Amino acid sequence: MVTGIETLSAAKELEEKITRFDIHQIIQHALLMVSFILLVVTGLPLKFHDFAISQWWTAAWGGIEATRFTHRFAAWVMVSVSVYHLLYLWYTINILKRPFPIKMVPGLQDFIKLAQELGYFMGLRKEMPRYDRFNWKEKFDYWAIFWGIPVMAGSGFIMMYPVLVTRFLPGWVVPTALIAHSDEAMLALIWIFMVHIFFNHFTPGVFPFNTSIFTGKVAGERYRREHPLEYERLLGISEQKEETDDESKSDAERNNETDSPDF
């Protein structure tokens, strides 16, 4: 997933745009977002069926049959995106021989930087922690989906085909699936709208709308602020004068370790 290296020379010459996401990542995010929104708007009326607005909204879609169809359609889109992402990972690593995207893997550093970030918010520190390619929020979003989609798709499938499923599994899976589906959906919804949207669109420097996930490009100046460690490595001006080589895992790990004393 690390594609920044390819734009290294470009970024050196032209300090304006840095390519952060490739076309596959842009498509995956777009499809995930559209299917997520469709799932939310057709799923919420079911959870809050008592509200008058739910009844009005369902009727506006053309009845519960229409919202159900849309919910199932969007669910298959979301599952397809997940499969696309896994295939993409496999393809880039095994066929294109790119390095395993080690920077997405969470570690102790993320907890330290989380504490540092909270310290900054509380006024205990003067600066935000210096992040590498992904900050802890981005990693949380990514891994939450790794947990969330199997839970949602699995429980959704059980409720979609309860007769088929209970031919192989005990009957209690159906009410259990409903509980898991409902709670996990609320968790995802609240997190996305409260944390994800806030930090990606409403923070200073990006407000009112952050286009990076839709265009794949980030202004160099902003990159320097938000992902200083990766930015410096891209430009070859890392304090340790480290090579910009992150092909090797051990180098990347060493990077992480040597980063810590700076804070």
Partner 1 sequence: MSQPPKQAGLELRRLLPFLAFGLVLTGSVLTLSATKVAGLDENNCLSCHDNPELIKTTADGKRISLHVSEEALSKGAHRYIDCTTCHTSEPHKTDTPLTKLSLAQKCGSCHQYQYKLHLESIHGQQLIQGNPDVATCIDCHSPVGNPHSVIRVLEYNAPTYKKNIAQTCGQCHGNEKLMANYGVVEKVYESYMRSFHGKAMQLGTYEVTQLDKATCTNCHGVHDIKSASDPTSPVAGLNNLANTCEQCHPNAGTNFASGFLGHKEASPENIPVAHYTEILFTTLLISVVSFGAIVVIMAIIRFSANKWRE
* Residue ranges in contact with partner 1 by CB under 8 A: 45-46, 49-50, 54-55, 58-59, 63-65, 67, 118, 120-123, 159, 162-163, 166-167, 170-176, 178-180, 183-184, 186-187, 190-191, 194-195, 198-199, 203-204
Instruction: Name which of 167 and 241 has its Cβ closer to partner 1.
Output: 167
Query: Comparing C-alpha atoms, which of 47, 41, 67, 58 is closest to residue 183?
Result: 47
Q: Which two tokens stand for residue 75?
A: 């669910």
Instruction: Name which of 176 and 258 has its Cβ closer to partner 1.
Output: 176
Centroid of chain to Cα 205? 20
Contact 47, 185 (CB under 8 A): yes
Instruction: Name which of 101 and 154 has its Cβ closer to partner 1.
Output: 154
The answer to whether the Cα torsion of 187, 189, 195, 200 is positive or negative is positive
Taking the complex as a whole, the smallest distance from the CB of residue 58 to partner 1 amounts, in Å, to: 4
Taking the complex as a whole, the smallest distance from the CB of residue 67 to partner 1 amounts, in Å, to: 8
Instruction: Name which of 89 and 174 has its Cβ closer to partner 1.
Output: 174
Taking the complex as a whole, the smallest distance from the CB of residue 245 to partner 1 amounts, in Å, to: 34
Taking the complex as a whole, the smallest distance from the CB of residue 192 to partner 1 amounts, in Å, to: 10
Taking the complex as a whole, the smallest distance from the CB of residue 162 to partner 1 amounts, in Å, to: 6
Interhelix angle for 136-160 vs 64-90, to 10°? Answer: 130
- Helix, strand, coil percentages (3-state) for the chain, rounded to 5, are 70, 0, 25
Query: Comparing C-alpha atoms, which of 212, 240, 231 is closest to residue 7?
Result: 231
Instruction: Name which of 14 and 60 has its Cβ closer to partner 1.
Output: 60
